[in-house]
Structure 1
Amino acid sequence: MSGRKRIQVDESEWYRLQREASRHKDVIRNLPALIREVRRQTEDDLERVFGVIEDRQRSVEQAFEGLSEQTRRLETETQERLRAQARRTAEELRATAGELRKETREQLAEQESRLRAEIEAERQQRRRDIRRIDSELGELVEDRERAAVLAREALSDARTLHNLIRGTLPHEQYAPGRLDGLEVTLDRAQVNIAQGRFDAALATAQGARQELGELRLDVEHRELERQTLRVYAREGLLLIERLVEDSARQTARDEKDEALEGFDLDVDYWTHGELTALLEETEALRRRVEDEERPPSADELRDVLRDRAPALRERLERIVERAGRRQFASQERVNLAESVVRALERMTAYELDATTYAGGDQRDAYFARLVHGNRNAIVVEVAPAAPDSGASVLRVLSYDHDTASSTELEERGVELTRALREHGIPAADPQEEPGRPDPAYTDFDALSRRRALPSTATDTQTATEG
């Protein structure tokens, strides 16, 4: 008989059900206060974003002073509609700031569909307005001198719009190269005027002016859309950051799922730094969303909203749940060891002498040492059976200087299993392990300094060896 025995103890059904029932309860314990804080930050973000839009719109309106009467009227009407749309968007964002939303693909698709419809409606309205202006000017083109005036006027308006877009809008982000192409068209109209081909110059300049107006409209809308997505994405990531910070310490619970007063659950400790890693990843993603030098695209922001932020939130819930399970499993290992110690004390003349954790780490194996007056010792080890397997392995290691008989050791294992079962612990029959117990396990000072192996567990069971 080797003196090394192992007994398997299964996870209770009660614990499995209780784990599911208590899932997520502490992750959002301070949610109202967190939402208020995020709402304040979102409102500041909105002031900044729409302050920039308002400043740009004022600059645009000043540039309109240099346009002809018809073009100024057209662009002013367009500008008023753009301003109204920006204000509606800002009001909607302010009204929903800080709400706990889970943006779904369907919700975002609906928002984008509505914006696309607004863009198309605005484009059609501009085209109707342009056709009306062209109709008013049609008869005047018959006069060569008037055609020359109109061609120069259309070219001047187009140049003004061209410079306005180049100076105030991120056109290269949304329509790379298009503005340079339209500049070539304007240069061609200029050549036609120089050659006295006023009809051709007018047609070319008017076409370019119309394209420039639509380009401005498209860029304005797409920038508004991107900034809206950016506010949503930043808000969602800020909320996750606050939840991570607030979740760092949870309420520790006992086997009845009741709060243990004076005991906290250190989530980062029990998950080997997973909470810190999650916070760093979330902060890095938020900095990417806020990047002004290399702004994120609308598609990138949609990806944050639809996939990456929800995935981070789900990871947080799993991390907190996993930390609670691991702490509970650690306590269950202690409880199991205590049950074994009490059983051995009743069965033998051994008494509890010392307890420790491997490496002083509560996440690792728990040890109890019993000694006899004749210097014999028994070491009880309760260790995780496998990374987050939900099981523990119990080993009872016998160190008999006067050499206990194999029959005595075998009877000790059988009796111990029976005692555990009588106390409601579902222990399997003992299994003998080959070899003699390692004497190093009796040196608890060294054992408490031994570095604990990292765990990657996810669930909890129990197994025992004796």
Structure 2
Amino acid sequence: MYQETQINHVYEKLLTRQQKYQQLLQYLDTKLQEVEISTAQRLIDTQADVLTRYLHESEGWFLETHRKIEQYQKEFSQKIETEQERFQQEIHKQQRSLQKIEAFQTMAQETALEWIQNTQDLISFIHQEYPPEMIDITAETMMLQQAIENYQTGLFESCITLCQTTFSQLTKLRLQAEKKIGLIQTLSISIEQSLNWLIERINSNQQVQAIDQDGKFLDAFVDVDYWTNGKLSELLEEVQTVQYELQQNSYSFSENTLVEILEKKIPKWSSLLVDIVHEARRSALNAQIRYSLAHLILEAAVSQGYKPVYGEYEENDFRRGYITRAVGVDGSEIRIKIDPLENLSFSMSLENRPGSLFSEEEMKKRMMELFQSIRHSGFNLGKIEPIQLLSETSEEEFAEPIRVRRPVNR
């Protein structure tokens, strides 16, 4: 802005000087004409006077005087020509300066327009090639608009400077976006591969081999999602949700989020998959042990004279407790229920039919006899305690049963 004002000031001074020089030349031309006329008149008068005064003088003196007059006229004419030439050169010099200023203004205007076009092209390229999440050029767009306003008001040099600054900032932002895109693409590819591998592992573990009490694989298979109450499906849905969002727009994730997914979440999911599979195998094994334990107790009851009536899982759900019933020769009826606890532990209940003549102490004694008969199978018995009637027992089945519970550890 300062340079533009200075140039305009110089330009105005040059125009003023040119006008003054033109006025001076006109003045000089007028004066020269007056001098020439006056001189000519004086020469004529002088010649007349000389001729009159020295009419009778010698011819040599007359010739000498005439020669001097001619020489004076010649010298005076040469001086006038020299001054005219000097003034003419000065005028040409000022004209060339003005032409240079005009050429500079034209060049500045053309250069400013080129910078505007180049900056606009770069902004258009960034809009087309880069996601808006990767690069924000709001400030640079406003700077370009200001540069255009400067151009329209004739501030070409200011426009050029602002365009150059804007172009430089856009270039830096573009390089930063390139690096960021490269990093995000690399992370996204790694995450995509890891997620595909994890999803493949989850799908391949829908059914896994069951294990026995020693941890050895059996020929039977376990439905992992069933035995973990849908935990495998929840894990698969969580992983697929992240995969879908990543496939839709990976640039919506920050670098830190992608790193967290790759370094923390995926290893966590992998570990969780192992835990889920292990839980499914343990749950299935737990159900089998409940079944075996119930039948061991039932066999002991048979040895005491009871006859098995039925045995089944609650509501036919293998994840719940196992129930067996037996009838004695004296008409008494007992129900044995094995409920699952944590870490392959069980809660066993012995319930007596309503109207039975057995007291609570006799029920405890009978329960001890039954449970002692299964110690050889490796079960550790805990404390025996009376419990209240469970809601699932109907009044028709057992109206007021004597019920004893004891935890069992395998």
* Distance in 1 (alpha carbons) for counterparts of 2:361 and 2:133: 86
When structure 1 is superposed on structure 2, of 244-253 and 159-168 the one drifting more is 159-168
The alpha-carbon deviation at position 189 of structure 1 amounts to 5.1
* Distance in 2 (alpha carbons) for counterparts of 1:402 and 1:168: 86
* Distance in 2 (alpha carbons) for counterparts of 1:234 and 1:286: 7
* Distance in 2 (alpha carbons) for counterparts of 1:422 and 1:400: 32
Q: Secondary structure at the match of 1:463?
A: strand
* Distance in 2 (alpha carbons) for counterparts of 1:258 and 1:441: 44
Q: Secondary structure at the match of 1:252?
A: strand
Find 1:338's aligned residue among 292, 295, 306. 295
Q: Determine the structure 1 residue equivalent to 2:323.
A: 367
5+ unaligned residues in a row in structure 2: which ranges?
A: 1-100, 399-405
CA contact (8 A) 1:369 1:442 kept: no
Q: TM-score normalised to the size of structure 1?
A: 0.57
Find 2:271's aligned residue among 314, 318, 339. 314
5+ unaligned residues in a row in structure 1: which ranges?
A: 1-140, 445-461
Q: For the structure 1 residues 180 and 336, does the alpha-carbon distance in structure 2 shift closer, same or farther, using more than 3 Å as the test?
A: same
* Distance in 2 (alpha carbons) for counterparts of 1:438 and 1:220: 66
CA contact (8 A) 2:147 2:162 kept: yes
CA RMSD of aligned residues (A): 3.4
Amino acid at match of 1:463: P
CA contact (8 A) 1:381 1:395 kept: yes
Q: Determine the structure 2 residue equivalent to 1:304.
A: 261
Amino acid at match of 1:376: S
Which is bigger in relative contact order (C-alpha 8 A, separation at least 6)? Answer: 1
Q: Secondary structure at the match of 2:381?
A: coil
* Distance in 1 (alpha carbons) for counterparts of 2:367 and 2:327: 17
**Is 2:172 the counterpart of 1:214?**
yes
When structure 1 is superposed on structure 2, of 176-185 and 319-328 the one drifting more is 176-185
CA contact (8 A) 1:249 1:265 kept: yes
**Is 2:338 the counterpart of 1:394?**
no
Matched length: 302
The alpha-carbon deviation at position 362 of structure 1 amounts to 0.7
When structure 1 is superposed on structure 2, of 406-415 and 227-236 the one drifting more is 406-415
Amino acid at match of 2:221: D
Q: Secondary structure at the match of 1:393?
A: strand
**Is 2:281 the counterpart of 1:327?**
no
Per-residue CA distance 1:222-265 (angstroms, 9 max, x = gap): 2222222222222222222222111111101111222221x111
Per-residue CA distance 1:372-429 (angstroms, 9 max, x = gap): 23432221110124xx354210111222756235554343123234323344321124
CA contact (8 A) 1:417 1:429 kept: no
Amino acid at match of 1:415: E
Equivalences for 1:127-166 in 2 at 5 Å? 144=104, 147-166=108-127
The alpha-carbon deviation at position 354 of structure 1 amounts to 1.7
The higher radius of gyration belongs to 2
Amino acid at match of 2:324: A
CA contact (8 A) 1:382 1:464 kept: no
**Percentage of identical aligned residues:** 21
CA contact (8 A) 1:236 1:309 kept: yes
Equivalences for 1:339-358 in 2 at 5 Å? 339-346=296-303, 348-358=304-314
Q: Determine the structure 2 residue equivalent to 1:94.
A: none
Q: For the structure 1 residues 353 and 286, does the alpha-carbon distance in structure 2 shift closer, same or farther, using more than 3 Å as the test?
A: same
* Distance in 1 (alpha carbons) for counterparts of 2:282 and 2:217: 14
Q: Determine the structure 1 residue equivalent to 2:206.
A: 248
CA contact (8 A) 2:184 2:255 kept: yes
Equivalences for 1:101-140 in 2 at 5 Å? none
Q: For the structure 1 residues 146 and 288, does the alpha-carbon distance in structure 2 shift closer, same or farther, using more than 3 Å as the test?
A: same
Amino acid at match of 1:187: I
**Is 2:365 the counterpart of 1:421?**
no
Q: Determine the structure 2 residue equivalent to 1:187.
A: 148
CA contact (8 A) 2:147 2:160 kept: no
